[in-house]
Amino acid sequence: MLLLAAAAFIGSQQCRPCHETVFDAYAKTPMAQSSGRAESIAPASFTAAGHRYQIANNRLIFDGGSAPMDYFIGSNAAGRSFIREREGYLFELPVTWYAQKQSWDASPGYEDHKDVHLTRAVEASCLQCHASRVRPVLGTQNRFGNPPFLENGVACERCHGPGSEHVKDPSKSPMVNPARLDPERRDAVCSQCHLTGEARIERPGRKFAEYRPGDRLSDYATYFVSKMGRRDLKVTSHVEKLAASACKTAAGDALWCGTCHDPHSNADKSQPACLGCHATAHHQQDRCVTCHMPRSQAVDANHGVMTDHSIPKKPSRESQPTLESLTPFLGSGDDRALGLAYAELGDKRAAEYLSRAVPQDWPVQLRLAVLQPDPVRAAQLYESVLRANPYEPAALVNLGTHLARQGRTLEAGRLWDRALLTNPALEEAVLNLTQIRPPKDSRLLLQKYLEINPVSRKALSRLAELPKSQ
Ligand code: HEC
Ligand code: HEC
Ligand code: HEC
Ligand code: HEC
Ligand code: HEC
Ligand code: HEC
Ligand code: HEC
């Protein structure tokens, strides 16, 4: 066990010499191909969310500018989104290819944007589910090493743990085999990526990124679902849905993702699985899942269709209320976790829980600061956030604004500069700086920002207002 703790991630290629069959089968699965460098994207011309786009030479072209399409996320089993890189900072592009419809459209969450939206930061959490050996740069929101991840897609070691010791001596240093773990640790291997619930809140001082196969997920985070349950499907709702099924409720730990899925080959083992437990069921000659696991629209991936893992008797069409009270699905729902979860969902109940939260660490202070009506008290909270996390972008921007209002522009400027190091596309920080810096510096700041976001109306009009002469 000590050996395992010291082991490092070495990459799937290293497993191939001894596990060739598994390696070759796995390489063809959507999970293995879930991310990579974007190459030779077919030219296209289309409208999405009211904006006209063209794709040519791996660039996305729109009225007012263009952006490179550097990396993709999504194997194309359902769809593919794109990321542009600029000086190591990653941003999600506003269009996605939807495989079922065979067409381009707005990326999930971009449907209602009035302007072409180019500044959505790709944070490490996004890549941690879709890529492996991700290399975020500390002290930034969305900067990564070059390349941003060392391995495309979901690597062997994401389910089996780091392999450096095993490859040296397989018999002395076994890998984690999920199927042999106790049910909680077994399920965690898939849940690390397939479960989000309504909100997932890291425990104080814990990071998802440090989860290793064999660990308990509840040691890292609390996952909340809505008490009423929701019938609409999210792309990461398979775990909750299965948990709600009569099969799982009755069969318990015997039923897990691996009962119906072979993660190495993506083979669908569901028919023998159903019959294994329902030996005397009706319709033995038909595919059970056509009636009992119907496919329907997912709410968070437009045009996506997903399989209903609640295995209902009859498909139901009624729509569900969205947010009732939150209830922990995995992990402990203490005041801190509940407060942070409600805050993330923009729900008023956040304030009460947060005020009672223990510990009052920086994530709590940050949420409290945003909710705090008294600016002086809010500034104190931001200051204490920055003592614990000197690069928290919202705290940097908002504390800067507070100081600038008191005429402390030098200090404010320093905070905004720092905010731009964490993420150069924080428009508010750029615009604020142009209020306090000489025109020449302001012009440079705006030009730099416009290279990322050439359609920003505010930045363009600020640039036009600046005095022309040097
Ligand atoms: C030098 C050859 C070699 C390499 C390289 C190698 N393995 Fe293995 N692996 C073995 C052998 C041999 C066994 C069987 C060990 C045993 O049963 O004692 C094994 C067993 C396993 C098992 C089953 C463990 C269990 O308890 O059921 C897993 C999972 C595994 N390897 C994953 C990997 C992964 C992932 C990599 C790449 C990081 C890898 N192996 C690289 C030789 C290798
Ligand atoms: C590191 C994150 C990660 C882990 C761990 C993980 N998955 Fe996935 N899984 C994904 C992603 C991302 C996709 C979507 C792949 C794509 O199409 O781009 C996916 C897709 C799938 C699919 C759908 C494949 C298809 O045909 O579209 C199945 C089934 C699946 N995973 C099962 C599992 C099971 C079972 C486990 C646990 C043994 C597991 N996954 C562990 C991230 C993960
Ligand atoms: C908690 C893990 C998690 C996070 C975070 C996450 N995803 Fe996913 N994503 C998944 C899983 C799991 C699937 C597969 C669901 C399925 O096949 O039903 C998926 C599916 C997708 C797909 C469709 C892939 C396909 O072809 O099947 C795209 C595109 C995608 N995600 C993009 C993103 C982007 C972009 C981000 C970050 C901004 C992101 N995802 C963040 C887990 C995650
Ligand atoms: C999405 C999670 C996941 C990924 C990725 C994954 N495995 Fe596995 N692997 C499993 C699970 C689950 C089992 C147990 C299967 C069972 O016994 O039901 C397993 C079992 C194994 C075993 C032992 C039993 C067998 O099938 O031979 C080996 C060896 C193995 N995996 C190697 C690999 C290698 C090598 C890779 C990368 C090429 C890889 N695995 C990628 C989940 C995964
Ligand atoms: C690990 C065992 C297990 C597996 C695998 C399994 N079930 Fe079940 N299922 C049960 C048990 C136990 C019950 C509850 C007792 C019963 O109704 O037979 C149940 C209940 C059901 C019900 C009744 C649902 C309700 O709301 O009353 C349906 C329908 C069903 N299963 C269909 C399926 C189908 C289809 C599959 C394959 C996709 C499947 N089951 C796989 C164990 C399992
Ligand atoms: C009782 C059988 C069964 C179990 C258990 C099961 N699945 Fe599935 N799953 C299916 C079937 C059937 C499909 C549809 C496959 C197809 O159409 O090719 C599917 C599809 C998927 C997909 C592809 C996207 C979609 O919704 O169609 C993902 C991702 C997935 N399952 C993840 C999981 C995860 C994670 C678990 C464990 C929490 C799990 N599944 C447990 C039967 C099952
Ligand atoms: C043509 C659609 C269809 C197919 C195929 C089908 N079922 Fe069903 N099944 C139903 C419907 C509808 C019900 C509800 C019947 C009722 O309530 O009278 C049901 C009920 C059930 C129940 C609950 C029985 C009870 O008494 O509550 C189980 C278990 C079940 N099916 C298992 C299976 C299994 C296993 C398969 C595959 C071998 C399968 N079904 C194939 C439509 C189907």
Whether the per-residue pLDDT at 432 is higher than 90: the answer is yes
- Pick from 107-116, 165-174, 352-361: least confident: 107-116
Nearest-atom index, ligand 3, CA of 194: 12
Q: Is 312 helix (H, G, I), strand (E, B) or coil?
A: coil
Rounded percentage of the chain residues whose pLDDT exceeds 70: 92
Give 309's pLDDT tier (boundaries 50, 70, 90).
confident
Q: Is the CB of 311 under 6 A from ligand 7?
A: no
Q: Is the CB of 177 under 6 A from ligand 1?
A: yes
Q: Within a domain: residue 440?
A: yes
User: Of 153, 175, 206, which closes a domain?
Assistant: 153
Q: Taking all residues of the chain, what is their mean pLDDT, rounded to a whole number?
A: 91
Give 406's pLDDT tier (boundaries 50, 70, 90).
very high
Residue with CA at minimum distance from ligand 7 atom 36? 288
Compute the average pLDDT of residues 449-463: 97
Contact 347, 322 (CB under 8 A): no
* The pLDDT of residue 4: 46
* The pLDDT of residue 2: 44
Residue with CA at minimum distance from ligand 1 atom 33? 15
Whether the per-residue pLDDT at 468 is higher than 80: the answer is no
CA 404 to chain centre: 34
Whether the per-residue pLDDT at 116 is higher than 50: the answer is yes
Q: Within a domain: residue 112?
A: yes
Total domain count, the chain = 2
Q: Is the CB of 15 under 6 A from ligand 1?
A: yes
Q: Within a domain: residue 143?
A: yes
Say how many Å lie between the CA of residue 17 and the centre of ligand 6: 30
Whether the per-residue pLDDT at 299 is higher than 70: the answer is no
Question: How large is the C-alpha radius of gyration of the chain?
Answer: 24
| CB-CB neighbours of 282 under 10 Å | 8
Q: Within a domain: residue 460?
A: yes
Compute the average pLDDT of residues 418-433: 97
* The pLDDT of residue 232: 53
Q: Ligand 7 pocket: which of 283, 286, 314 to mutate (most atoms <8 Å of CB)?
A: 283
Q: Which helix (H) or strand (E) holds 388?
A: helix 375-388
Whether the per-residue pLDDT at 170 is higher than 80: the answer is yes
Name which residue leads in pLDDT, 307 or 84. Answer: 84
For residue 76, what are the CA distances in angstroms to 93, 96, 304? Answer: 16, 10, 11
Say how many Å lie between the CA of residue 277 and the centre of ligand 7: 13
Q: Is the CB of 34 under 6 A from ligand 2?
A: yes
Rounded percentage of the chain residues whose pLDDT exceeds 90: 82
Q: Cα(45)–Cα(60) distance, rounded to whole angstroms?
A: 10
Q: Within a domain: residue 339?
A: no
DSSP per-residue letters across 107-139: PTT-TT-SSPP--EE--HHHHHHHSEEEEEPTT
Assign residue 385 the CATH number of its domain.
Answer: 1.25.40.10
* The pLDDT of residue 470: 53
Q: Is the CB of 413 under 6 A from ligand 3?
A: no
pLDDT tens figures, 32-85: 999 999 999 999 999 999 999 999 999 999 999 999 999 999 999 999 999 999
Q: Is the CB of 290 under 6 A from ligand 7?
A: yes
Say how many Å lie between the CA of residue 141 and the centre of ligand 2: 26
Q: Within a domain: residue 105?
A: yes
- Enter the tokens of residue 36: 């990579």
Whether the per-residue pLDDT at 231 is higher than 60: the answer is no
- Pick from 264-268, 400-404, 454-458: least confident: 264-268
Domain extent, residue 411, equals 360-465
Whether the per-residue pLDDT at 103 is higher than 80: the answer is yes
Whether the per-residue pLDDT at 320 is higher than 70: the answer is no
Q: Within a domain: residue 167?
A: no
Give 265's pLDDT tier (boundaries 50, 70, 90).
very high
Compute the average pLDDT of residues 155-163: 98
Compute the average pLDDT of residues 395-412: 96
Q: Is the CB of 239 under 6 A from ligand 6?
A: yes
- Enter the tokens of residue 167: 């490859």
* The pLDDT of residue 312: 72
Contact 172, 1 (CB under 8 A): no
Say how many Å lie between the CA of residue 170 and the centre of ligand 1: 6
* The pLDDT of residue 324: 76
Say how many Å lie between the CA of residue 315 and the centre of ligand 5: 15
Give 294's pLDDT tier (boundaries 50, 70, 90).
confident
Residue with CA at minimum distance from ligand 6 atom 22? 307
Q: Is the CB of 179 under 6 A from ligand 4?
A: yes
User: Of 126, 153, 180, which closes a domain?
Assistant: 153
Q: Is the CB of 73 under 6 A from ligand 2?
A: no
* The pLDDT of residue 197: 87
User: Of 125, 153, 181, which closes a domain?
Assistant: 153
pLDDT tens figures, 362-381: 999 999 999 999 999 999 99
Nearest-atom index, ligand 5, CA of 251: 12
Q: Is 74 helix (H, G, I), strand (E, B) or coil?
A: coil
pLDDT tens figures, 195-211: 988 899 999 999 999 99
Q: Within a domain: residue 43?
A: yes
Angle at the Cα of 433 from the Cα atoms of 429 and 435, rounded to 5 degrees: 125
- Enter the tokens of residue 386: 């920055």
Its pTM stands at: 0.95
Residue with CA at minimum distance from ligand 6 atom 19? 307
Give 316's pLDDT tier (boundaries 50, 70, 90).
low
Residue with CA at minimum distance from ligand 5 atom 16? 247
- Pick from 11-20, 143-152, 196-205: least confident: 196-205
Mention every residue, 6+ apart, whose C-beta is less than 8 A from residue 1: none
